[in-house]
C-alpha cells in the first residue's frame, strides 16, 4: 500500500501486490481548504490517462498493470484541477515486480477439430467473425462506475484449476497465455456475479461457449465462459451474488469449469487481484 498527503488531497493506492497482471486501486480524498477547492483530478498511469469516478466526495481510479509490463516501476501522475489556481501535476514512482507466471508441458491435447483445425467450413468461420464483432461492440460500452463494494468469488467453493497467464508448452512451443482464472466445478453448479453491474453480453460463442460479460462501469468488465446454462440476458442489471449462469463445458473446453476473466481499460488482468484485496475497505486474503 502507498499513502501520500499533499496540500489539496491525500491518496491511498492498494493492491494484492504491485506486480504484473494485477489490479491497483487508487482513492483520492480532497483536503478542505478555505482558499482553494479540489474540483476535479486527472490521473495517468505510465502516460495513459485513466477514467476517474467520484462517489461521496472521493475520487476513485482503477489501474491495470499489464501482465506484459516490462519496467521495474510505473509513473502515477495526479493533476489537481480547481477553480482558484492553475492546475498542478505531481508524479510518483511506483515499484512493480515481475510475476512468475506458470508454465506446464503438455504431451497430448484432446480438443474438438473445430477448435484446432486450420481449415474450417465457411459457416463456422462466419460464426467466429460474428462472435468477434459481438465482443468488440460489447467492450465499447462506456458507463459510470456501478460498484461501491469489494469484488467476491463467482462460485461457492473457489478452488483454482488453472491460474491467470499460465502457458502450455506443446511440441516445444509456448501457447497463448491463459487470459483468466479457471475454477473447478461440476456441471450445473451456480455462477454468481462478482459485483454489481449491467449484463452487456449473454449468448453462445464459438470459443467461449455460453458466455456472459458484465459491465461494472469505468471500463471494468467481468467475463464468464463455458457455462452450461445462461440465467441472464443482455440489459439485465445484476447485484453482487446474483445467479447469472451455471458451470459447464461448452465452447473450447476439455471439462466442466468456470473461466473467469477481468478486463480493465482494455487490459486482461488476474481476476483474483480484484477479489482478494479490499478496495473500499481492508480485506484479508484467504489462504486457498
Tens of pLDDT, residues 172-231: 666 789 999 999 999 999 999 999 999 999 999 999 999 999 999 999 999 999 999 999
Look up the pTM and report it.
0.91
Between strands 167-170 and 103-105, the pairing is parallel
Domains and CATH numbers, the chain: 2-95 (2.60.40.1930), 103-275 (2.70.70.10)
pLDDT in tens, 250-279: 999 989 999 999 999 999 999 999 999 988
Question: Can you say how many angstroms the Cα of residue 240 is from the centroid of all Cα atoms in its chain?
Answer: 15
Per-position DSSP letters for 22-91, written without gaps between them: -EEEEEEEEPP-SS--EEEEEEEETTEEE--EEETTEEEEEEE--TT--SSEEEEEEEEEESSS--EEEE
The helix (H) or strand (E) run that includes residue 122 is helix 122-138
**pLDDT on residue 283:** 47
Transcribe 124-153 into DSSP letters: HHHHHHHHHHHHHHHTT--------S----
Nearest partner of 274 among 178, 195, 218, judged by Cα: 195
Dig out the grid coordinates for 178 from the structure: 491463459
pLDDT in tens, 126-143: 999 999 999 999 999 999
Amino acid at each position: 500500500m502507498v499513502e501520500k498527503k499533499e496540500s489539496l488531497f491525500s491518496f491511498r493506492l492498494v493492491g494484492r501486490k504491485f506486480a504484473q497482471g494485477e489490479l491497483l486501486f487508487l482513492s483520492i480524498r480532497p483536503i478542505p481548504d478555505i482558499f482553494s477547492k479540489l474540483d476535479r483530478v486527472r490521473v495517468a498511469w505510465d502516460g495513459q490517462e485513466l477514467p476517474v469516478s467520484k462517489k461521496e466526495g472521493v475520487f476513485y481510479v482503477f489501474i491495470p498493470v499489464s501482465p506484459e509490463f516490462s519496467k521495474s516501476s510505473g509513473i502515477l501522475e495526479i493533476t489537481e484541477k480547481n477553480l482558484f489556481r492553475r492546475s498542478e501535476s505531481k508524479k510518483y514512482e511506483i515499484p512493480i515486480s515481475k510475476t512468475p507466471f506458470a508454465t506446464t508441458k503438455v504431451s497430448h491435447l484432446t480438443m474438438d477439430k473445430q477448435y484446432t483445425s486450420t481449415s474450417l467450413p465457411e459457416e463456422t468461420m462466419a460464426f467466429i467473425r460474428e462472435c468477434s464483432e459481438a465482443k468488440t461492440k460489447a467492450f465499447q460500452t462506456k458507463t459510470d462506475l456501478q460498484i461501491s463494494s469489494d469484488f467476491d468469488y463467482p462460485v461457492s467453493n473457489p478452488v483454482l484449476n488453472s491460474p491467470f497467464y499460465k502457458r502450455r508448452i506443446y511440441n516445444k512451443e509456448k501457447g497463448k497465455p491463459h487470459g483468466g482464472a479457471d475454477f473447478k466445478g461440476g456441471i450445473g453448479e451456480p455462477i454468481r456475479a462478482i459485483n454489481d453491474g449491467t449484463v452487456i453480453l449473454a449468448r453462445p460463442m464459438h470459443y467461449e461457449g455460453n458466455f456472459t460479460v458484465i459491465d461494472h462501469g469505468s471500463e471494468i468488465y467481468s467475463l464468464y465462459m463455458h457455462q452450461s446454462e445462461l440465467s441472464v440476458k443482455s440489459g439485465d442489471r445484476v447485484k453482487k451474488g446474483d445467479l447469472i449462469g451455471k458451470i459447464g463445458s461448452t465452447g473450447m473446453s476439455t471439462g466442466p469449469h468456470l473461466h473467469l476473466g477481468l478486463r480493465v481499460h482494455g487490459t486482461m488482468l488476474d481476476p483474483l487481484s480484484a477479489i482478494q484485496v479490499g478496495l473500499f475497505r481492508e480485506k484479508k486474503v484467504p489462504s486457498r
